[in-house]
Chains A and B, each alone.
Chain A
Amino acid sequence: EVQLVESGGGLVQPGRSLKLSCAASGFTFSNYYMAWVRQAPKKGLEWVATISTSGSRTYYPDSVKGRFTISRDNAKSSLYLQMNSLKSEDTATYYCASGRDFDYWGQGVMVTVSS
């Protein structure tokens, strides 16, 4: 059974940093692109970052480029999202998702950016 389990969320002040993790199991993690998607409260879905199978290529929308960094550890079947210079508009539930089809999703982790 495929499982994606996010962790690392919480309350953080504007301008500070936070690192999210996603532990994957039930599939060959190293064979799949991986992504982060977020959803602000009562809003729609927004793609945040994607990483290639080896980690050599990463992709971001302009809204987070230069502030967020996606990475992975294939030996640990883990995905990460380092979020720096956080803003109030980054407040959202963050999901990790597998593949370019986003076929499996984690349960999500809440990040609240507030003073």
Chain B
Amino acid sequence: DVVMTQTPVSLPVSLGGQASISCRSSQSLVHSNGNTYLHWYLQKPGQSPQLLIYRVSNRFSGVPDRFSGSGSGTDFTLKISRVEPEDLGDYYCLQSTHFPDTFGAGTKLELK
């Protein structure tokens, strides 16, 4: 199984500041079809997860451009610039290149 190592576990930020979350996979996430199925989700308190970034760097519909994804192979990063109150919550990466699909353990973005 692909292990997704997500860091940090907790990320204190100031409003208006920047945050960066890393996900590293135990093997390459490049599918045989050439796509890389690495996605990022935000789960706000008491809510369902919501897709932010799909396939490494594509912002989902309605996601502000403060969110950006990058990376390749086994090393991926989610950056949030100009953090706003509605950005607080738990962030997860997911790889769906190789079954079983596997999530990172999560990063709690909280106020400093």
Which residues in A have some Cβ–Cβ distance to B below 8 Å?
Answer: 35, 37, 44-47, 50, 59-62, 95, 100-108
Dominant secondary structure of chain A at its interface with chain B:
loop
User: Taking A101-B54, A101-B55, A103-B60 as contacts, is the C-beta distance between A45 and B49 under 8 angstroms?
Assistant: yes
Q: Is B24 an interface residue (CB 8 A)?
A: no
Count A/B pairs, Cβ under 8 Å: 55
- Whether A103 pairs with B54 at a CB distance below 8 angstroms is yes
- Inter-chain CA distance A61–B100, complex, in Å, is 6
| B residues in contact (CB < 8 Å) with A | 1, 37, 39, 41, 43, 48-51, 54-55, 60, 92, 94, 96, 99-106
User: In the complex, what residue of chain B is closest to A65 when comparing beta carbons?
Assistant: B100
How distant is the Cα of A61 from the Cα of B54 in the complex, in angstroms? 22
Residues of B within 8 Å of A108, CB to CB, are: 48
